[in-house]
Amino acid sequence: MRSRRSISDIVAVVLLIVIAIAAAVIIYMWLSGLISSIHTSTSVTQVKLEITGANVTYVNNLHYSSVKGFNVTAYVYNPPGSPSTSITLAELEFTNGTLICTNSSSNTPPPLIVTPTGTITSTIAPASTAKVIFSCAYSSAVPAGTPVEVILVTPEGVQVTYTATVS
């Protein structure tokens, strides 16, 4: 009988050690995941762009080619305390989320950022407003008055949206 009792004591100690190690690993993984998500989200929340207005025009001859599509001008405000940023991707969607066009193709010029004084720049400074101009191809005609969403994306992954109508 005595040998059974010592075996059950050993099994109990081994089980407690395994449970303690498993708990330590789970806590470590949870904390390292939590810390990394806090680190990445703070850089994204620092950029706080706002689109204050937009003009969307369907044209038969875009600025950069003889292709049908849209010329889009968005007025973007970068509030004080937000870092300087640029626009890496510009899209136009129907209000149901269907993509109309984007400037991400290789033959489409990148979005142009223009300051209020008319200077072309690569970034939008804090506490300032700029025009973001882009064109994108779309072969089908879109009637005037159709609501669309202008979507601009920064290098940090911040996405800002504005609903406008086609003119």
Considering the entire predicted model, what is its pTM?
0.69
Q: Are residues 51 and 87 in the same domain?
A: yes
Q: Are residues 55 and 100 in the same domain?
A: yes
Q: Are residues 77 and 14 in the same domain?
A: no
Q: Domain containing 17: what range?
A: 1-46
Query: In terms of Cα–Cα distance, which of 80, 26, 96, 89 is closest to 48?
Result: 80
Given this model, what pLDDT does residue 8 score? 82
Counted domains in the chain: 2
> Which residue positions in the chain have pLDDT lower than 70?
1-5, 34-45, 61-66, 105-107
Q: Are residues 28 and 94 in the same domain?
A: no
Q: Are residues 42 and 89 in the same domain?
A: no
